[in-house]
Amino acid sequence: MSMTEEQAAWFAETFAKLVTNVGQAVLGKPDAVRLILTAMLAEGHVLLEDAPGTGKTMLARALANTVQGTTSRIQFTPDLLPSDVTGITIYDQKTQAFEFHRGPIFANVVLADEINRASPKTQSALLEVMEESRVTVDGATYTQERPFMVIATQNPIEQAGTYRLPEAQLDRFLVKTSMGYPDHAATVELLAGSATRDRSAALSAVITASAVRDMADLAATVHTDTSVLEYIAHLTAATREAPETRLGVSVRGALAMVRAAKVWAASEGRNFVLPDDVKILAPSVFTHRLVMDPEAEFAGATAAAVLDQVLTATAAPQQRVAV
């Protein structure tokens, strides 16, 4: 059953309340807030890449406090072990049995701070849980509860003491975005409230974790016309055929686009997806999935430039309104 117009209007109103609430802690960044909320309701994960001190952690905390659910924070360091993330099995002498002690990954909203400071071995501990919402330890599988979202922050690769994220892990992030520095007005407001070290701590929850799950299920019913699906397929194929890339957008990336576009459309009060929704989301959903050819990259080619060329060269279908 497709989303009704009344449901779309309610979704947009609730979505706007969430953006406003998070915006009380993260000043002057409504676009970033909206994008991350889109990822949450699309049941995806977010990678925030920016210079230190731009509010990445504050944004993640503000979102966690807005959604009434369990939260955890993992500070990634070079000596962090996979078991520090997923948990460990310990023998209990009283019961004479092995018991699994859950790690911090078992929460509705997980803040993975400075994820690229951990070794690739530890980063790989996130692959299964981010894709399948479950963790396997010592042959036993433990299911993650919905909603589940990893908000990972990382400093640019050029920063000392960082590791490049594996392509397989990058592909599991629904969106990648950056905060950037606040504008002049927001900076002045932040400085005026410098006595408050954590603006997110004062935020109250707008909805419950179960309501987030209901909104995600409702967003999945947004209609997506076949022409829009074909448009997404053409875009992903074009990124793979581009001479500047070694790897283009995967099938996982195409599916992520569909889920994100449905949420984006619902946040606009529509019960159908437009090609413009895909165009707006493409830089955040597709760019980080492109693996550039080393020679082309050395010559100055960038993933963003390749995606711009693909969007320009690929004809979008005419706008349609769903019934």
CA separation (Å) from 125 to 73, 154, 179, 290?
15, 17, 26, 23
Residue 163 has pLDDT above 90, yes or no: no
> Comparing 77 with 198, which gets the higher pLDDT?
77
Give percent of the chain above pLDDT 70. Answer: 95
Judging by DSSP bridges, how do beta strands 71-75 and 109-113 pair with one another?
parallel
- Express each pLDDT in 45-57 by its tens digit: 999 887 777 777 7
- Express each pLDDT in 57-101 by its tens digit: 788 788 888 887 788 889 998 889 989 999 988 888 888 888 888
Mean pLDDT value across residues 123-130: 85
Mean pLDDT value across residues 170-191: 83
Mean pLDDT value across residues 262-280: 95
Mean pLDDT value across residues 275-295: 94
Judging by DSSP bridges, how do beta strands 175-177 and 97-102 pair with one another?
unpaired
Q: What are the start-end ranges of the E strands in the chain? A: 46-49, 67-68, 71-75, 87-92, 97-102, 109-113, 134-137, 140-143, 149-154, 175-177, 207-208, 245-247, 291-292
Q: Which pLDDT band holds residue 157 (cuts at 50, 70, 90)?
A: low
φ/ψ of 97, rounded to 5, equals -150, 160
Q: Which pLDDT band holds residue 270 (cuts at 50, 70, 90)?
A: very high
